[in-house]
A and B are shown apart, each in its own frame.
Chain A
Amino acid sequence: MMKRAAWPIASAVLLGYPLIFSTPFQQRLGALILLYAIGASAWNIVGGYAGLISVGHAVFFGCGAYGALASYQYLGLPPIGGLPIGVAASIGIAAIVGIPTLRLSGHYFSMATIAVAELVRLVVSNSEWLGGAQGLSGPPVPRTLLDLSFVSALPYYYVFLGVLAAMLALTRQMERSRIGYYLRAIHDSERAARTLGVPVSRYKLYAYMMSAALTAVAGALYAVMFGFVDPESGLGILISIKMLIMAALGGAGLLLGPLAGAVILVPLEEFSNSLLGGVGAGVTFLVYGAIIVVIARLQPGGLLRPIPGALRKRSARAKS
């Protein structure tokens, strides 16, 4: 009953948010929440469902961001026109990186993804064509509507909401189809899944490539909104970690987990920076970090996972 009511309520809240909280900063905050939710949801496919903890998703985010701005820089396209280029590049990289690294298990996979991401960041930092250490920028002033450069955050909000909805619908579809079952089987026990005839390597790679492509979408949208990317802001390890933390905090492997994580963390970060940033000396991050620790301590499975956890406890008690 509650579950059935949750969807319309969530949709109504998301659609109505910028009309109720209508100051420019609040609308922008809403757009940022959705943008980070898109990135974290993309990570969730491989990190949550398949249980492969990637700490190098910044590579794919960077593909999207660099694809968008490079296609403006060299082809004169509106940045969003570079989206297919970024997505194609991310799928290509995912295939090249995935085939050897997906064979690694547990934290060895995580370490390999960090190494690849840092490698790509260094290569891009030294590649003049991609702006080197100075980065690439988008059109300084919008030329046409297609440049998607708006003063108000409202258009961004609804564009991001549409993308997020489409992405979640796709993920939901995936959850219920063969690949979804396979991924969960792999997550629970890779050896058992293999014994049952699941083509483990192939499906891990599919999930990895799908996650990469969707992460590139997030990167391209970021580049369109901010109009600038450099190696640190497009490929830095903090980006990978943010995606991971948001998904994990909200509930990795749950459809709405990443969105829940973003709803908590993005406002927390923006408000703590706005209220405390001017004080200096990083008070912001102390507060931010402390709250993450508190949530992780009280709700280790993610915010959206209280009910299954409680059930397990109850059944454990019943057995004893």
Chain B
Amino acid sequence: MNPTGLARLLAAAAFGLAVTGAAFAQSVKVGAIYPLSGVAASVGVYAKAAIEVATDIVNNDHPELGDLPLAKGAGLTGLGGAKLEVVFADNQGTPAAGQNQAIRLITEEKVVAINGAYQSGITLTASAAAERYGIPFLTGDSVAANLTERGFKWFFRTTPIASDFARIYMEFLKDMKAKGARIDSIAIVHENTEYGTSVASVVTSTFKANGLNITQNIPYSANATDVQSQVLQLKDKKPDVLIFVSYTADAILYAKTMKSLDYKPPIMIADDAGFSDPSFVAAVGNIVQGVFNRSSWSVGAPGTKTYLVNDMYKKKSGVDLDDTTARIMQGFMVLVDAINRAGSTEPAKIQAALRATDLKPSQLIMGFKGVKFDEKGQNVLASALVIQLQNGVNYVPVWPKDQAAAEPVLVYKGW
């Protein structure tokens, strides 16, 4: 073979490689592990809908969504317009299934990154598998503090965690005190599984460290069918501030019991979850007027990008985005943005791009101050607003002042 022949052959081979390379770039696979069956299945099914909406935003041209990364243009622009493909897996509500599915997604489906997994215990085992294989894992929703304390290099979290919420409540209450509210005695009522106990203990320690007094601590079972004794204890001690950490059915029960026993605390705060559930607001919203809550999500005015995203989601799932599903969608968007900036499907490059993430509030759907990860993988700009149920069944942002849509109304109104 003469030298030109060889050169031609090499050129042809190189062309062939380039073509196959391009063919591989046609779609980029990302894994999503959520509870699609088991007790948390309803959240998982909503999470799936939220991620499908985010995928639609990436894969199709959505100029109306403004600065939202990847909304303009179709596909992943950093990867030559490659389509995003999400492989969903069911964690079945068990840590073992979560880890098995993470390994399957990595080794069989060849996903370049994983998003998930709602329950903190499952995020723990699934991300441990991703860490061993060197695949980026991002959670937008699991809040257990220990997740980012493991020295992992491939784990990232966009959501604010219990210590952030505790700080927000503390600062909010101090601000209200400056406006003349009494906050000398504080009662905390929480359900007694992981969520309730962990949030209550972080709130208690943060408050204590800042000179606020938790005078009453009332744990209860979320399956309870009667909470009169708990409400009577509160009625007896008359705390200035009452904080609830509850799921949905129990929150409804408390609201009804407080009305029937005619008990109203001066200030009532609820930690997201049950009190944010659309079914709670629909059922008893009219008898808990003036309750404060926290949220990083707000639908916003018609025409804004959050309003449009919510509209897309509502068409798919039939309900509005709430704080949890919106956090899940935001986490997924941050992960996809990093893959796009990496311009590669190589895990190490995606990891580097995640480390370099610096998203501004205008590029987010959540009310975070931005997204930027510290060396542990925690988003240091994650934050939440205090919202209040005012005039019927709408939560409105009331604090901090620069993000408020209305003034906080002091003295809990109830019904």
A280 touching B95, Cβ below 8 Å: no
Q: Which of B7-59 contact A (CB under 8 A)?
A: 36-38, 41, 44-45, 48
Chain A positions 131 through 172: 1 when the CB is less than 8 Å from some CB of chain B, otherwise 0 = 011110100110000000101000000000000000000000
- In angstroms, Cα B194 to Cα A228, docked, is 15
Chain A positions 265 through 278: 1 when the CB is less than 8 Å from some CB of chain B, otherwise 0 = 00000100110011
A285 sits at the interface (CB 8 A): yes
B120 touching A281, Cβ below 8 Å: no
- In the assembled complex, the CB of A69 is this many whole angstroms from the nearest CB of chain B, namely 12
Known contacts: A24-B103, A226-B96, A228-B95. The answer to whether A133 contacts B36 by CB under 8 A is no
Name B44's closest neighbour in chain A (CB-CB).
Answer: A280
A285 touching B37, Cβ below 8 Å: yes
- In the assembled complex, the CB of A189 is this many whole angstroms from the nearest CB of chain B, namely 40
B37 touching A282, Cβ below 8 Å: yes
Name B132's closest neighbour in chain A (CB-CB).
Answer: A151
Residues of B within 8 A of A230 (CB): 95, 121, 194
Question: How many B residues face the partner with a CB closer than 8 A?
Answer: 42
Q: Which of B251-292 contact A (CB under 8 A)?
A: none
- In angstroms, Cα B35 to Cα A285, docked, is 13
- Selected contact of A25 from candidates B41, B89, B104, CB within 8 Å: B104
Known contacts: A23-B107, A226-B95, A228-B95. The answer to whether A277 contacts B100 by CB under 8 A is no
Q: Which of A283-318 contact B (CB under 8 A)?
A: 284-285
Among B146-154, B167-175, B181-189, B348-356, the one that faces the other chain is: B146-154
- In the assembled complex, the CB of B90 is this many whole angstroms from the nearest CB of chain A, namely 3
Residues of A within 8 A of B96 (CB): 222, 226, 233
A233 touching B121, Cβ below 8 Å: yes
B60 sits at the interface (CB 8 A): no
B124 touching A284, Cβ below 8 Å: no
A141 touching B103, Cβ below 8 Å: no
Known contacts: A134-B144, A134-B194, A278-B87. The answer to whether A140 contacts B150 by CB under 8 A is yes
Name B155's closest neighbour in chain A (CB-CB).
Answer: A140
B371 sits at the interface (CB 8 A): no
- In angstroms, Cα B132 to Cα A194, docked, is 56
A280 touching B103, Cβ below 8 Å: no
Residues of A within 8 A of B193 (CB): 125, 133
Known contacts: A28-B103, A282-B41. The answer to whether A273 contacts B197 by CB under 8 A is no
B108 touching A25, Cβ below 8 Å: yes
B227 sits at the interface (CB 8 A): no
B198 sits at the interface (CB 8 A): yes
A130 sits at the interface (CB 8 A): no
B324 sits at the interface (CB 8 A): no
B37 touching A277, Cβ below 8 Å: yes
- In the assembled complex, the CB of B288 is this many whole angstroms from the nearest CB of chain A, namely 26
A126 sits at the interface (CB 8 A): yes
A32 sits at the interface (CB 8 A): yes
The B contact surface, by secondary structure, is helix
Name A150's closest neighbour in chain B (CB-CB).
Answer: B132
A284 touching B107, Cβ below 8 Å: no
- Selected contact of B121 from candidates A126, A134, A278, CB within 8 Å: A134
Residues of B within 8 A of A98 (CB): none
Chain A positions 27 through 69: 1 when the CB is less than 8 Å from some CB of chain B, otherwise 0 = 0100010000000000000000000000000000000000000
B36 touching A141, Cβ below 8 Å: no
A227 sits at the interface (CB 8 A): yes
- In the assembled complex, the CB of A216 is this many whole angstroms from the nearest CB of chain B, namely 17
A280 touching B36, Cβ below 8 Å: yes
A137 touching B97, Cβ below 8 Å: no
- In angstroms, Cα B150 to Cα A149, docked, is 15
Residues of B within 8 A of A228 (CB): 95, 121, 124-125, 128
A23 touching B108, Cβ below 8 Å: yes
- In the assembled complex, the CB of A57 is this many whole angstroms from the nearest CB of chain B, namely 17
B139 sits at the interface (CB 8 A): no
- In angstroms, Cα B92 to Cα A40, docked, is 21
- In angstroms, Cα B97 to Cα A126, docked, is 25
- In angstroms, Cα B45 to Cα A85, docked, is 41
B192 touching A126, Cβ below 8 Å: yes
Residues of B within 8 A of A277 (CB): 36-37, 88-90, 92, 101
B164 sits at the interface (CB 8 A): no
B95 touching A233, Cβ below 8 Å: yes
Residues of B within 8 A of A32 (CB): 100
Q: A137-B124, A278-B36, A280-B36 are in contact. List 10 more A-B contacts (CB 8 A).
A: A133-B192, A133-B198, A134-B197, A222-B96, A226-B125, A227-B128, A270-B100, A277-B88, A277-B90, A280-B41
| 27 A-B pairs (CB sep. < 8 Å) | A23-B107, A24-B107, A25-B103, A25-B104, A125-B193, A133-B193, A133-B198, A134-B120, A134-B197, A135-B194, A140-B131, A140-B150, A151-B133, A222-B96, A226-B96, A226-B99, A228-B128, A232-B93, A233-B95, A233-B121, A273-B90, A273-B100, A274-B108, A277-B90, A278-B90, A281-B45, A284-B90
Task: Point out residues on A near B: beta carbons under 8 Å.
Answer: 23-25, 28, 32, 125-126, 132-135, 137, 140-141, 149, 151, 222, 226-230, 232-233, 270, 273-274, 277-282, 284-285
